A and B are shown apart, each in its own frame.
Chain A
């Protein structure tokens, strides 16, 4: 009898404790509602596209803050191309009490350390721009990815030349020999976008009936200066042969344009990807034939909204449906000097 009473008392005490804990947790959530802290780590702050996106993230965070009346603290760090630095940054973000992390991974194959740390701390992660491998993404249901579909990007890049060729072949086949001779500027070899962009862009050109012939190609690691150096070399090695420069991004396309200008300005066509601010300026000035641009405003909005929802423990934002509950693909459009389409 007495034993039963002891059990009953114990259960009562436990119940009261549980209630206390739940109410404390509610209070804590209420308190946390007033402000959220987002740790953002960039693979390379000097990358023009990332730089543009980062400015937009700051803007969107401010908009969110004004609309929802919830203070948003952004901790933005540049990993300077080092995965070790990025791992440390993730550690620091967690120890500073960030509610959510937005990571633009340095090495997409090596996101597991960051994921481990985030999982241990229970901090959700929104990856962006550089997609971690699927095995890593499947490890936890609080990992998300916001980016563009690299295959779609590449097809759009190829399609802009196909359309132009069909409309006016001489605008692409500049010397009228029935063959479009091109050079290719590729991004990092370890980046999935680089490989997919190259493969599908060229395949779209071929499938679209453009008679292409590759003169040469090189890896310029997304960088303007490296692309410029490569192009300078090609202009010397293949004088008056290059008709088209296919670049995996705008920065490298601009590097090629720089080299062409230094060499006295050639009339060849240059196409890029990203729609960065300098890329769009070059497009406006007629130096760049075209680019494929993701809707960067939307890109940044999704990252901020998704991160904020995670931090606040709300349901995922309804306006941005996630594929498999994890991936958001930002819509893209072709921007070309003569043709503009959505």
Chain B
């Protein structure tokens, strides 16, 4: 027989257990702070993501650290501004909290941005607050300066351009290089043609003297990879070139640099850009406003720099 006191104690014990259960397992008494998962859409200006491997790694790293859900979107057609704007609209309607955009045409994209925070990756210094800047014109200038130091004086330089539509970065990089080289007979420009025969035709078109070699500057990573691939296979092409230069840090480009088909490249910290762009977007979502645009450095590297710790960490990041 349980005494009256025992019954009261039992009752109190049951109440205590119930309260403990409610506190631990429900939100009724102690409300656990709800951690918001930010939906961030990243829309690039290309139809393939090959040039964005490190960028994506950085983006994923920041997403995991900052509780963001980031998804990466490529265009159906490279450099299609209408489509990029359409995709931005779609993502906004689908509930994205913020957008990170590598704009096809900055002016047009900026005009479209209002409803949700947009972090832009500017290809040139901008008056807009926020975003991340990679100054491609400056990169082109730096590239040209390095080439001038590297090549014998008076050497011919071939600016090898992409055959299709140029992106803003392509345009600015070329302009920077062209301005540094100046106008002269020894600076030529030609459109890239596929294959060994195509490359030879381009070189023939320069009208160089017998045995004269040229330095080649590729306008973008695609042209650089393709040209390096030909150089690796064709002794004839390799024998007519002083050195191949360009920009980009895809694994393929770095392999060609390591094997000596590429003389030097300008690179940026893709991982850092991806990471910081997500940080910037989250910062804004948390109501901290826009900071001044962050300007990323670009570096000129040659084969031997690949083994330097700084570049190794930058180009082959470990998540």
* A287 to B, closest residue via Cβ: B233
Main secondary structure of the interface of A (DSSP, over half): mixed
**Could you tell me if A75 and B76 are in contact, using CB atoms closer than 8 angstroms?**
no
A55 at the interface (CB under 8 A from B): yes
From known contacts A35-B94, A96-B69, infer whether A62 and B49 are also in contact, taking CB-CB under 8 Å: no
- For B71, the closest partner residue in chain A by CB is A73
Complex-state Cα separation, A168 to B8, whole angstroms: 100
Q: Is A66 an interface residue (CB 8 A)?
A: yes
Chain B residue contacts of A96, Cβ below 8 A: 69
For A66, list chain B residues within 8 Å (CB): 76
A71 interface hit (Cβ, 8 Å): yes
Nearest chain A CB to B175 CB, angstrom units: 31
CB distance from A341 to the nearest CB of B (A): 26
Judge if A58 is at the interface, Cβ distance under 8 Å: yes
Count of A-B residue pairs with CB < 8 Å: 20
Interface residues of B: mostly helix, strand, loop or mixed? Answer: mixed
| B-side contacts of A55, CB under 8 Å | 48, 50
Q: Total interface residues on B, using CB and 8 Å? A: 13
A58–B48 CA distance with the chains assembled, in angstroms: 8
Q: With contacts A71-B94, A96-B69 known, is A285 near B74, CB below 8 A?
A: no
Q: Chain A residues near B94 (CB, 8 Å)?
A: 34-35, 71
Give CA–CA (A58, B90) in the complex, Å.
Answer: 18
A285 contacts B76, CB within 8 Å?
no
Complex alpha-carbon distance, A55 and B46, angstroms: 13
In the complex, how many angstroms separate the beta carbon of A35 from the nearest chain B beta carbon?
Answer: 6
Report the bound CA distance from A122 to B314 in whole Å. 40
Quick one: which of B60, B71, B74, B233 contacts A58, CB cutoff 8 A? B74
Return chain B residues, CB-CB under 8 Å to A34: 94
List, in ascending order, chain B residues with CB within 8 A of A73's CB.
71
Contact A285 B233 (CB under 8 A): yes
Instruction: List chain B residues, Cβ under 8 A from A285.
Output: 233
Given the contacts A62-B76, A66-B76, A75 and B50 also touching, CB distance less than 8 Å: no
Distance between Cα atoms of A291 and B72 in the complex (Å): 34
Chain A residues near B69 (CB-CB < 8 A): 96
Closest to B95 in A: A35
Q: Interface digits, B54-89 against A, CB 8 Å rule (1 contact, 0 not)?
A: 000000100000000101101010000000000000
Which residues of B are found within 8 Å of A74, using beta-carbon distances? 71-72
In the complex the two chains form, is B48's CB within 8 Å of A71's CB? Answer: no
Task: Give A75 to B233 CA distance when docked, in angstroms.
Answer: 37
B197 shortest CB reach to chain A, Å:
14
Tell me, rounded to whole Å, the shortest Cβ–Cβ distance linking A64 to chain B: 12
Contacts of A46 in B (CB 8 A): 251
Chain A residues, Cβ within 8 Å of B233: 285
Question: Are the C-beta atoms of A58 and B49 separated by less than 8 Å?
Answer: yes
Contact B74 A62 (CB under 8 A): yes
Minimum CB distance partner of B318 in chain A: A80
A75 CA / B42 CA spacing, docked (Å): 12
Could you list 20 A-B pairs, sorted by A, with CB under 8 Å? A34-B94, A35-B94, A46-B251, A55-B48, A55-B50, A58-B48, A58-B49, A58-B74, A62-B74, A62-B76, A66-B76, A71-B90, A71-B94, A73-B71, A74-B71, A74-B72, A75-B71, A77-B60, A96-B69, A285-B233
Shortest Cβ-Cβ A-B pairs, 7 listed? A73-B71, A96-B69, A62-B76, A66-B76, A35-B94, A75-B71, A285-B233
A residues contacting B by CB (< 8 A) are 34-35, 46, 55, 58, 62, 66, 71, 73-75, 77, 96, 285
With A34-B94, A58-B49 known, 4 other A-B pairs at CB within 8 A are: A58-B48, A66-B76, A73-B71, A74-B72
